[in-house]
Structure 1
Amino acid sequence: MRDRVLALSAAISRLCTVILWASATGLVLMTALIGYQVWGRFVMNDTPTWTETTSILLMGWFIFLGAAVGVREGNHLSFDVALHVMPDSVKKVCFTISDLVVIAFGAGMCWYGWTLAATTWGSTIPNLGITGATAFFSLIFGGVLMVLLSVERLLRRAVGMHTARFGDVVEE
């Protein structure tokens, strides 16, 4: 079982690298689009209206994708003062509870994102000409990733493998 979890972790690690590159690309692209919008508004006196909406959509993607990878890598803020005085067995229980809460949160993102997308499927984003549901695809995908990456953390802990927490990364 440990070998399967290790193989899964290696595949997820590669996926997270791709996701981080996609997030970084989205951030750079959003910055360029906003720069282009400022250029159009103040230099050309002709504001491109599609850049703002596109930038907001890109922002949703890089935020939710980056947040999901942050779940896996243990980079999110947490209240860990009490963890320093707890025995390791209690820490593992707390970490497992934390991962279960993140799974529930990610599932909620998927559920409500899907509901919002279904509700807005028939509408159109005017200056892009695409369905309004597009605005919620990043929420759904980010939720799926949060669930997947938290389940991986649970599996790693179940077979006795290390999970990244508070910057204490250990390589296998």
Structure 2
Amino acid sequence: MTSYAKRSVPHGAGFHQPPAEEHHIQITPEELAHSFVEEAPPADLSHYAVEDWATVALFWLMAAAVFLQFFTRYILNDSLNWTEEIASYCLVALVFVGSSMCVRLSRHIQVDILYRFLPAGPARLLSTLVDVIRTAFFVYLTHLMWRLIEVVGDEMMVTVELPKGLLYYAVLGGCALMAVRSLQVTVVNWRRGHSVLEKPEAFDGKGV
């Protein structure tokens, strides 16, 4: 005897079901581009200090002098000699004024590998010693710069009828700012109990 097994057929099988309707919305290229644009947050300039703006001004003054030198030398074939001297002086002033910004933000090159192996107490003592020595160095550097201005501050620039004292005073201001910012960093590090050397991950980069 031959037996036949019955197979159940699912409900609706064998019947053609119409596909669901698709609705397409036309989007213009402008709307598509704006869909990827996020609204920019308001600019926060509160954490910028006077040395930040001075550094930006010196940078663009140097850039303008270099561009003018390039334009007059290679386009007009009549180079302005004073542009090279002004650009070099701007670079010197930029380094010292910008260094005060790095001191405030604790962004100077630092060797912190020793702090990974020291206990908390000796690490705190060594970090404080580094802060004090750094501040004393900047104070002494400011003193030396003042002595230099007293000796050669009245000398004139080579290609421009301007005193070199303008450059020296800019460097003096940078040294004085480094001393002040270093003292502020020292006090702040002492109050919170650690510095960037001990806990670099705890700093947000905004400085004191």
Q: TM-score, normalised by structure 2?
A: 0.67
Match 1:102 to one of 134, 141, 152: 134
Deviations 1:102-139 (A, max 9, x none): 21221222122112211112321132212222222222
Mark the runs of 5 or more structure 1 residues left unpaired by the alignment: 1-12
CA distance in 1, matches of 2:183, 2:69: 41
CA distance in 2, matches of 1:156, 1:63: 25
Does the 8 A contact of 1:106 with 1:142 survive in 2? no
Number of aligned residues: 160
Does the 8 A contact of 1:70 with 1:76 survive in 2? yes
Please give the residue correspondences for 1:112-151 in structure 2 after superposition, counting only pairs within 5 Å. 112-151=144-183
Please tell me whether residue 32 in structure 1 is matched to residue 64 in structure 2. yes
Distance 1:85 1:71, change over 3 A: same
Give the equivalent residue in structure 2 for 1:89.
Answer: 121
Distance 1:167 1:133, change over 3 A: farther
Give the equivalent residue in structure 2 for 1:7.
Answer: none
Name the larger-Rg structure.
2
State the identity %.
19
Per-residue deviation, 1:89: 2.4
CA distance in 2, matches of 1:17, 1:162: 23
Distance 1:97 1:61, change over 3 A: same
Mark the runs of 5 or more structure 2 residues left unpaired by the alignment: 1-44
Distance 1:62 1:15, change over 3 A: farther
| Aligned-partner SS, 1:159 | helix
CA distance in 2, matches of 1:93, 1:28: 41
Give the equivalent residue in structure 2 for 1:63.
Answer: 95
Match 1:22 to one of 37, 54, 63: 54
Q: Which amino acid aligns with 2:78?
A: D
Give the equivalent residue in structure 2 for 1:157.
Answer: 189
Does the 8 A contact of 2:100 with 2:178 survive in 1? yes
Distance 1:162 1:91, change over 3 A: closer
What is the aligned-residue RMSD (CA, Å)?
A: 2.5
Per-residue deviation, 1:161: 6.0
Q: Which amino acid aligns with 2:178?
A: M
Distance 1:15 1:65, change over 3 A: farther
Q: Which amino acid aligns with 2:60?
A: V
Give the equivalent residue in structure 2 for 1:3.
Answer: none
Specify which structure has the higher proportion of helix. 1
Give the equivalent residue in structure 1 for 2:202.
Answer: 168
